[in-house]
Structure formats: C-alpha cells, structure tokens
C-alpha cells in the first residue's frame, strides 16, 4: 500500500522536498540510529531553503540540497555510494527544469558531485545524457575531480560482502533527490545515486533517465524518484504522474497514488518519490517499508526517517 504525506501550498511562496532513499536504513551504516540520517536530511533541506529564501531559482535549490546528501556518507550517492559487484562506485545523476531542459550522467567515476556534472551537461553541452564521462570532461566542466576510492567507505564494502555472500539483500538500493518550486513559480528536480549494491558494472537504473527517475514541467509538477530502478524505467513513473496531472486533470496526490498502484504495486515493485505541484503543494509517497524525506514551505522541514 502506498503511503502519502502532503504539505499545504504556501500561498504562492516556495516549496522544497527531498528524499534520501526508499527501503530504510542499511545495517552497516545505521549503527548510530536514525539521528545522523535526520541531521543529514535537515542539513540538505536548509541548504536548498537558503537558496529559495534568498530569491534563488528552483534548479539551484535542488542542486544545493542534493550536493549535501552526496557529501554525506550515510546516503547512497557520492561519497558512501553503493558498490558494484567488483567493488567500484558508478554514479548516476540528473537534473531537469520546468522549462524542459535536462542533463544527466551515468556511470560517472571521477567527479565529487555528480549532480553538478549533470547540470553541466545541461548547461554546457548540446546533450542530455553522457555515459562514463572521463576526467578531462569533468575538468572542462570546471568541476572537482576525485580519485575513485573517494566514494568507497568501509560500511559499503561490508554491505557488498554481505550481499555477494548471500547473507542478505534487503535495502540494497537507495537514491537521493530533491524537488522545488521557487517564488517565481518555476519548478525543478534533481536525482543522484550509486545504484544497487552488487549490481553489474555498467548497469544504469532510472536516476539518469528523464521521465523515469526525474521529471519537471512548469505549471504541472516536478518529481524525483527512488526505488527499484528497473520498475521505474518500465513504468516511466515520473512522467506517468505528470501526464495524469497534465492531461487527465488529476490532483497531485491522486496522480501519485494511481501511478504507484498501476506501475509499481501491480508488478510487485517498491520505491518512493517526492513531488511539488505548480501551486507549491508537496507530496512524499512510498510503498516501501520506509523512506527518508524532508519537506516544507518554510525554513524548518517535516521529516520522515
């Protein structure tokens, strides 16, 4: 069953929501309990809210929030990302504005903040998706280059060992993302992930796929997804929600519930999303056991951990 949390529209002001992954805590990185996750979510929310409160645009706000989560080793993005079957980190990220611009990277290995590289693809190239961008590409984009072991943490190595040994596969995935509506009514979305623990090298999930893991359109909605990536690709989940709103006139929560029922639950798949409507209304939804999220229309968020 899908669980839906809503926040009221702020009367024309900005809104922000972010997620830190569906499925709950990973045993190897949860020894300190939920507090560090909550702290990370609050820090990410505040980073995005500072942008919005200063009159900044939705794109910069979602990138600011996601960058904080990429730098936090508790979350499956950037430093602390899940590892492939051969013990490497291959990072995916995407951004999309409500005006229809989008940028994404898949299997990125050398940039500290993949969300910034996805934005650079959108703003500095004529392309939408770049796969396996090399060091020179990262440098040309003016972004920080790191060694591949920067992303690898001890707890993620332990998680990979557990998964490969068959001692457990729960909470293998996870993704971070954010959506925002700014004071000018523009919306944007960003998503970033390390994928699934133990995935094949070169596997790409929904995160960098426009319409699956991310989607934004002014006067409609902005969406960032997390969960079983293959199911989100097959169901084109982010776009399916947007289409229900745009063409069928569904409300935001109604559209989200219908998409989960028809594209995820019907196929036995789990995950979640955060969405912000054109009026600033916010929905956080998941049919997984849990999902980390923060949402609000002011400087302090409501949290789920």
**Residues designated as active site:** 175
Task: Write the CB contacts of 155 (distance below 8 Å, at least 6 apart in sequence).
Answer: 26, 28, 29, 73, 80
| Count of beta carbons in the 10 Å neighbourhood of residue 290 | 17
User: Quick one: three-class SS letters along the chain?
Assistant: CCEEEEECCCCCCCEEEEEEEECCCCHHHCCCCCHHHHHHHHHHHHHHHHHHHCCCCHHHHHHHHHHHHHCCCCCCCCCCCCCCCCCCCCEEEEEEECCCCEEEEEEECCECCHHHHHHHHHHHCCCCEEECCCHHHHHHCCCCECCHHHHCCHHHHHHHHHHHCCCCCCCCCCCEEEEEECCCCCEEEEEEECCCCCCCCCCCCCCCCECCCEEEECCCEEEEEEECHHHHHHCCHHHHHHHHHHHHCCCHHHHHHHHHHHHHHHHCCCEEEEEEECCCCEEEEECCCCEEEEEECCCCCEEEC
Strands ordered across the beta sheet of 214-217: 3-7, 282-286, 271-277, 221-227, 214-217
């Amino acid at each position: 069953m899908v669980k839906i949390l809503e926040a009221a529209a702020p009367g024309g002001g900005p809104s922000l929501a972010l997620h830190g992954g569906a499925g709950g805590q990973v045993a190897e990185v949860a020894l300190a309990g939920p507090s560090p996750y909550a702290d990370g979510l609050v820090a990410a929310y505040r980073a995005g809210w500072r942008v919005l409160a200063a009159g900044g645009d939705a794109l910069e706000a979602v990138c600011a929030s996601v960058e904080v989560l990429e730098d936090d080793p508790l979350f499956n993005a950037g430093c602390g990302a899940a590892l492939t079957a051969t013990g490497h980190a291959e990072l995916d990220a995407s951004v999309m504005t409500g005006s229809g611009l989008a940028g994404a990277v898949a299997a990125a290995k050398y940039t500290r903040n993949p969300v910034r590289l996805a934005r650079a693809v959108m703003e500095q190239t004529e392309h939408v998706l770049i796969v396996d961008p090399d060091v020179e590409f990262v440098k040309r984009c003016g972004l920080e280059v790191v060694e591949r072991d920067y992303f690898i943490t001890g707890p993620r190595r332990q998680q990979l060992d557990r998964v490969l040994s068959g001692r457990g596969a729960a909470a293998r995935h996870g993704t971070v993302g954010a959506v925002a509506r700014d004071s000018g009514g523009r919306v944007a979305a960003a998503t970033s992930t390390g994928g699934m623990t133990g995935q094949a090298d070169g596997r790409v999930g929904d995160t960098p796929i426009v319409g699956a893991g991310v989607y934004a359109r002014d006067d409609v909605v902005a969406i960032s997804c997390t969960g079983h990536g293959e199911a989100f690709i097959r169901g084109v989940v982010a776009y399916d929600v947007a289409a229900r709103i745009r063409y069928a006139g569904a409300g935001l929560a109604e559209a989200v519930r219908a998409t989960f029922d028809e594209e995820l639950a019907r196929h036995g798949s789990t995950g979640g999303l955060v969405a912000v409507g054109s009026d600033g209304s916010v929905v956080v939804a998941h049919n997984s056991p849990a999902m980390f999220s923060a949402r609000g229309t002011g400087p302090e968020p409501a949290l789920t951990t």
